Amino acid sequence: MKTIIHNIGQIVSGDWRDPFAGGDCIMIEGERITAVGSAPADAAREADIVIDADGMTAIPGLIDSHVHITFGDYTPRQRTVGYLESYLHGGTTTAISASEVHVPGRPKDVEGVKALAVAAQRCFAEWRPGGMRVIAGSVILEPGLKRADFHELAQKGVRLAKAGFGAVRTAYDYVPLVAAANAEGLITTCHTGGSSIPGSGAITGDHLLKMHPTVSFHINGGPTAMPDADFERVIVESEIALQVCTAGNLRTTLLCARLAEKHRAFDRFLIATDTPTGSGIMPLGMLYTIAHLASLTDMPAERFICAATGNNARIYGLDSGYIAPGKAADIVLVDAPDGGTQATALAAIKHGDIAAVGAVVSAGVPRFVGRSRNTPGTTRKARVTVSRVMQDFSATPH
Ligand SMILES: [Zn+2]
């Protein structure tokens, strides 16, 4: 299937060092972007679907690198069905599992945590609820896991490991577990901040520096922040990726962004939500954190869109997160919300408003065009002008 999105006002690339792509058109074939720029005169005649963006801003589909995936499109913590589809209506096209710790009665022994990770990975390998790509299967680090276990998991397609919920005596006991998982090529992640489970202590800067996971999960606090002095240490003394989450401490989110800028560490500054949790289900969480960071710092709005897209893609080794030829065709049209004071999506975000979502394309398939179920309406009106496929592009009412 060939899809063309044209008449785009501005294209955010996903690369914070070079945040805009030129042109007004994106061409898609199958699940990939084939060209970005201007459309040849006869392109529309060959396309199966043509979307007129009416001057809206195109951004890469948002990548939420901290979602509490279980099985199916269901969160036991908040007893809600369909949250992933709802997140897609907030512009998120990829959800990365923060480990399957919310599965009721989850196993805690070595064989059990391995089987859980493999099962979760398999359950989402081919299935995209509502169009959402889910990267699931994050083995929960428990004492007793050996390097051979991580080798086996990597062979079976598990790419993630998570420290912070295991039956360890102190967080320092994670050091050999994280090292073994890193050695087998897994992306290691670690709870950061106040204690997460009864009996466990807080995980702070010194623990992170000794463990050196790939990503400090919710470095701003999940939801309780570590000491302020530890942020600079982790940024300066390590290469650990700095994930800030919506369901955490806003003050330390801003602190971390400013320190990442100061120490030229913005390449590893990541935005995520850490939901669904006790904090709730937040379909617009990514858009809120982008707006909070853009409106409360001196940095531009597009910088934080890139932290929510290209930066996450690079750290997690995904083929999405950028609007560029060859990348996955995960594209969101955003705009200034209807009735606001600003003229464009980026101006609205800088102003502190969330962007209105006008269309979401994932894996090359338009999931809806027109109106998101969850954001305010757009000022401009994107619409499908040519369609040769059997599909209704309106958002499913719920
Ligand atoms: Zn979490």
Query: For the segment 334-388, what is each residue's pLDDT rounded down to a tens digit?
Result: 999 999 999 999 999 999 999 999 999 999 999 999 999 999 999 999 999 999 9
Mean pLDDT of 249-258: 98
Tell me: the pLDDT tens digits for 315-342? 999 999 999 999 999 999 999 999 999 9
pTM exceeds 0.75, yes or no: yes
* pLDDT at site 197: 59
Q: Could you tell me if 380 and 396 are in contact, meaning their C-beta atoms sit under 8 angstroms apart? A: no
- The Å distance, Cα 67 to ligand 1 centre, comes to 7
User: Residue 359 C-alpha to ligand 1 middle, in angstroms?
Assistant: 28
Rounded to 5°, the CA angle 349-354-356 comes to: 110
Distance from residue 151's CA to the centre of ligand 1 (Å): 25
What is the rounded distance in angstroms from the CA atom of residue 173 to the CA atom of residue 346?
45
Whether the predicted pLDDT of 200 surpasses 80 = no
CA 66 – ligand 1 centroid, Å: 6
pLDDT for residue 130 is more than 60:
yes
Residue 162 alpha carbon to ligand 1 centre in Å: 10
Which pLDDT tens digit goes with each residue over 18-39? 999 999 999 999 999 999 999 8
- Cα–Cα distance between 204 and 221 in angstroms, integer? 10
User: Residue 51 has what DSSP assignment?
Assistant: E
User: What does the block give as tokens for 241?
Assistant: 């990726």
* 3-state percent helix, strand, coil for the chain, nearest multiple of 5: 30, 25, 45
Peptide bond into 107 cis (omega under 30): no
pLDDT score for 252: 98
| 307 CA from centroid of ligand 1 (Å) | 18
Average pLDDT over every residue of 79-84: 96
Q: Would you state the pLDDT for residue 391?
A: 82
Task: Please say if the pLDDT value at position 201 is more than 90.
Answer: no
Q: How confident is the model at residue 396 (pLDDT cuts 50, 70, 90)?
A: low
Ligand 1: centre distance to CA 376 (Å): 27
Give the pLDDT confidence of 131-173 residue by residue, as tens digits.
999 999 999 999 999 999 999 999 999 999 999 989 999 999 9
Average pLDDT of the chain to the nearest whole number: 95
73: three-class secondary structure by DSSP: coil
Altogether, the residues listed in the chain come to a count of: 398
Digit-coded pLDDT (tens) for 261-313: 999 999 999 999 999 999 999 999 999 999 999 999 999 999 999 999 999 99
Give dist(CA 192, CA 201) in Å, integer: 11
| Residue tagged 């669904």 (tokens) | 276
Is the Cβ–Cβ distance between 27 and 6 less than 8 Å? no
Q: Listing from the earlier edge strand, what are the strands of the sheet with 160-163?
A: 138-140, 160-163, 187-190, 215-216, 241-245, 269-272
State the DSSP code for 380: S
> Which residue has 């009106």 as its token pair?
381
Angle at 113 between CA 109 and CA 117, to 5 degrees: 175
For residue 271, report the distance from its CA to the centre of ligand 1, in Å.
13
Buried b / exposed e over 137-166, threshold 16 CB at 10 Å, is: bbbbbbeebeeebbbebbeeebbbbbbbbb
- For ligand 1, the distance from its centroid to the CA atom of residue 336, given in whole angstroms, is 30
- pLDDT classification of 398: cutoffs 50, 70, 90: very low
Please, what is the angle between helix 285-296 and helix 250-262, to 10°? 60
Query: How far, in Å, is the centroid of ligand 1 from the Cα of 352?
Result: 25
